[in-house]
Structure 1
């Protein structure tokens, strides 16, 4: 995510390295390079110029603080201005209707249907909502089928009328169905086009006027860069939408849409899609995105993802098993699946400060756990529960069953034993030896 822009900005800040203080000369040289980096990232020219002018004004005349160098001062200023450029703080959905209604708009291929499913899942799990998905794309039968598939995966009902070609009526009927069945949220997926056209605009405007949604979200493919910003402006001029959703931000995106769109349309980015999985959806936090662009990681988001998968009762159960040295391969497998649910492994690693840069040219296979899972699934229930019985013949059978080698099986068992020992040491350590000890309540 934003790797090229991050690299370019890092090189720009190196121009100030070793300087005693910020001067007009070294600032001008650095910001000239920053502006080039932004333009290469497909940021709107006016936005890039305004950004660097603001940074220059704030940087000029600042003395170097104790223990800081000029490039560190500049990084701080650029970080704060990047966050401001993208909206300063996260923007919440305002859902007050009974039921609340969210209308999706955007071009074909932007990811509206997939995002509709992701949003339904997020609002159900995090906000306790009871969503109904409404299929109002009357031109693409596959869109209706796709929404039904997503609804089935998520356990969320989908309203559709395959014979009705009037999207306004379908949307109104979906809201009536939500009231009848006690659903408190309707997410309306609409048709897109390959390009903005008058028929499309009239149709989406008619739907909005008829249903008066709480939120109208413009969904845009972030990989289209500056074109995404131009499209957003055309939609906003006609629809006056309430927020933007950037999809496919995990792709080879240059970042221009994220950095330009707020300034151009004066509407907040509310969500970002970071992968194909249903869980790969995040609330957009401008300050955290600024951290990531400048290579500072995003520990807060990493912790939040971990907490979403955290089960307190399960944690207590595991702690007891660890204390009794009863942690087994079933527990090990459960921990692996919990990590996988958190998202793309490389994306997770990049949230740790410094790690993203180290992994830039390293591919982390999304199937990294596949071999481990195959080995564990090839064990009998008794072997998973009691790893001590895994003798040579059993290991040979497991290797054959999992399509791996005996060496792979031996390696996993050794790693498992080391992990279990380490976890037991942490769990059974005396409170006085733990880092948390100084913070105990008195």
Structure 2
């Protein structure tokens, strides 16, 4: 009897705890899959920090990690929609390399004799040409897939080979450098950052946007008679979102300009060099802002436009989408064209960061991009995926790379770990989908 009486309250306590957790998630409407990814990312960061003797969770490493993840993050936002429609794009890394080479040749060889090397329009012309070329390549792939009926896997596998070879043919394999000074700002670095004050302004604007989004959502729900979240849940979402944003800004501002660059900055601006040196915070890097901006635009396209709804309808049931009057073939063409444009933006970030275009640029980026989308919860079966998940997936991938580099692991071992992570991610997605049925 004593054992029975002790067990009953414990069971009741467990049930009570479970129901409390359920009520919390129901009230806040937090995506549990994304939350699980955030928790997993936290474990990865803490684990690498312990193994690297505190080198991983430093402002310098986290700042560099965010910059290095920017180009893959941009492409992953497009890859989500491609995979949602039950397609795949294996050519994104090669398109990045080819378009990056085109933009570099324009800046270093073609345009300087015409308008001058540091002309204010140089970076605009180069970037615009790159986006046009990337969009055209993507549209070509989409047309072959949609109108000729060739599977996306084969078309983009061919594109992987074709555009990698084309990148070599542009300059016969030679590296092209340097890039335009303004263009290089898209790559980050000491000059490609917005500084401490501007970073805090961006953070406060982001917090204001969170508040306005929550208020607008509540107003729309009330207008259409949908259930409202409890007020405490709204406050929780606003406070936790603002803490995350301002915490990220604080980390970015805590990374100071290296001594040599700071000394050069002081000399250029007539600042006396103090005995203890200057501590100049770099703030948020420009490529990170570009990646966040692209993610916001892609989230809007996905959730708020007819095109986004068509994409998910095609992924859910292509035959039903066709019968519903959706022009499936043209949606596929537009989708791959969009993917090509995102590859061009990623190419600009990559070439600007290296201040050069090389024949090997973008190699294996297709695998990292697909892995970022899949790890972020995009289902290879189609119909399921989020832009936020893809961004988190890209950060997870870059965290693994950065952590393994800090630990001094060999490149082959790094590839093994990435491969295992990808397989586990797909397996977890399969398990999640089977339990959700």
Question: TM over 0.5: same fold?
Answer: no
1 or 2, which has the higher helix percentage?
A: 2
How does the TM-score come out when normalised to structure 2?
A: 0.22
Q: Which has the higher contact order (CA 8 A, sep 6+)?
A: 2
1 or 2, which has the higher strand percentage?
A: 1
Kindly name which structure, 1 or 2, has the bigger radius of gyration based on alpha carbons.
Answer: 1
How does the TM-score come out when normalised to structure 1?
A: 0.22
